[in-house]
Amino acid sequence: MTATPCVVDTSAWIEWLADTALGGRLGTQFPERSQCMVPTIVQLELSKWLMREVGEEQADQVIAYTQKCIVVPLDTDIALLAADLHREYKLATADAIVYATARRHGATLLTCDAHFDELPNVLLFAKSGGAI
């Protein structure tokens, strides 16, 4: 588990929750709740996925778990940084918000999404292998 603050991207949450082989590998890097930062946009994406895949009761349980982590709402500073990161790295809006949240708080981003490859302070677990 990480000892520094860590933003867990939706892709990593899904792999971990679905208990995939990749989720098992990245689970060793999953932060303790006291170090786990959850952007509100990740809560939105997780809720959508959970409701579709496992139903309301499990969705409620996972979102309740995220609320015991460090929930980071989208504020103006993060939004403006996300706009800059969107332009600089060609990230989709939600990804730019997640990455901006990590950058704004000096946290590592834990993700399985390859479009974060080679960005600073990203711990990428590629879907085709281990950590990069």
Whole-model pTM over 0.85: yes
Which pLDDT belongs to residue 132?
Answer: 43
Residues 47-63, mean pLDDT to the nearest whole number = 95
High-pLDDT (> 70) share of the chain, %: 94
Which pLDDT belongs to residue 69?
Answer: 97
55 burial via Cβ count (<10 Å: 0-12, 13-18, 19+): exposed
Contacts of residue 15, Cβ cutoff 8 Å, sequence gap at least 6: 22, 23, 26, 112, 125
Residue type for position 9: D
Strands (E), the chain: 6-8, 36-39, 70-72, 108-111, 122-124
Give the confidence band of 126 by pLDDT, cuts at 50, 70, 90. Answer: confident
pLDDT tens, 59-79? 999 999 999 999 999 999 999
pLDDT at 1 over 70: no
